Amino acid sequence: MAATLSSPPPPQQLQPSPFYEIVKGPSGLDKVVLRGARGCSAEVYLYGGQVASWKNDHGEELLFVSTKAIFKPPKAIRGGIPICFPQFGTHGNLEQHGFARNRLWVIDDNPPPLPVNPAIKAFVDLILKPSDEDLKIWPHSFEFRLRVALGPLGDLSLTSRIRNTNTDGRPFSYTFAYHTYFSVSDISEVRVEGLETMDYLDNLKGKERFTEQGDAIVFESEVDKVYLSAPSKIAIIDHEKKRTFVLTKEGLPDAVVWNPWDKKAKAMQDFGDGEYKHMLCVEPAAVEKPITLKPVRSIDGPSWLRFLIFCVLYRSTSLPLIFDAGLAWMLLRPFCFCHFNSPALCSFCEASNMFHLSMRMIPTGLHLLRLQLRGVRWRRCGWLPQTAKAIPAEIIFVDP
């Protein structure tokens, strides 16, 4: 049985690791600090199994946590990445967003095998099981395993494996979300791409169904929408901070976009009045159609819900993604307009530090994101191998 607030888990003895440590956070809450090889980091609280910090190798915080967040059970932590399970929002009879986000998880010392990139060293496995009190309000037995990992380039991934362990053969259904709060410079300078032409439910209009009409989602007032059957790749473009978040989701068909704006921000006890300007929630989710799980006898057959985020910094007017189809990776190389058609990189721009990006590796899945060419000239460069394809990617264009 998982520990509850009334029965804290016994202290755990962990093997020493250069990639994580357990420290005390506010109110004495235990948190795991993950440290990546490039200097990036993440913090995961055992309370809620919640990621509350993700920093890149420049030390910049990429997630939003309110300065008024309450780190005291049973209140959920306002910010980071709360886990909404077994209910998202008010789509059911439980408390809003379910109970997983305000339960104590424990470190899973012996998790079942999970395919991983061998380059990933900084990760932690957590597990949540229902308490007797949980079973009274939601009468289903389950095992919820969560892995939080930092990739070799500072990318953050969350992988959830949920099993139905009911002994009476009953299936159960649940809704779910990774309620991700992103830190942004100014909400008016941010746009979301990848959700164009998607149908959505507008929670501000009684969950009425609409179709997105704009080329990109921009923000001028409160937003609370559930985009249905959303693509697996979504981009959040922050012009002022010159960075793009690229979200990849698996097993979660929907995407929630939320910003409370000024009036609701002022009404929330654990949210600063003006903090809505510096946050945006884009949440991989399963809302419209609940996920149904049958009981399983072994670890095979869980519900897999995976979420991967890349943060791409950029400084140039254009950065083409160059994908080598003969390899399992994609190379990201910077160019500038003055040498855009040259077979070599622009040494002047690199020397003058115009780019945050040098050559680095990113997963090939990013090239599946919606791509557009908007008035940018490109041609195949002679130095590319025959197996390569050059793809101009709008997600990392910045206006000149």
Question: Which residues are marked as active site?
Answer: 179, 283
What is the spatial distance between Cα 385 and Cα 322, in angstroms, rounded to a whole number? 10
Residue 115 CA: distances (Å) to CA of 35, 111, 147, 307, 322: 21, 12, 11, 15, 26
**Which residues pair with residue 281 across a beta bridge?**
181, 258
The sign one gets for the Cα dihedral 67, 68, 73, 75 is negative
Kind of pairing between the strands at 279-293 and 172-178? antiparallel
What residues have CB less than 8 Å from 245, skipping those under 6 apart?
62, 182, 235, 236, 238, 282, 309, 310, 311, 312
Furthest-apart CA pair in the chain: how many Å?
69
Give the CA radius of gyration of the chain: 22
Amino acid at 50: Q
What is the b/e burial string over 237-268, where b = at least 16 CB atoms within 10 angstroms of the residue's CB?
bbbebbbbbbbbbebbbbbbbbbbbeeebeee
Residue 94 burial by Cβ neighbours in a 10 Å radius (0-12, 13-18, 19+):
middle
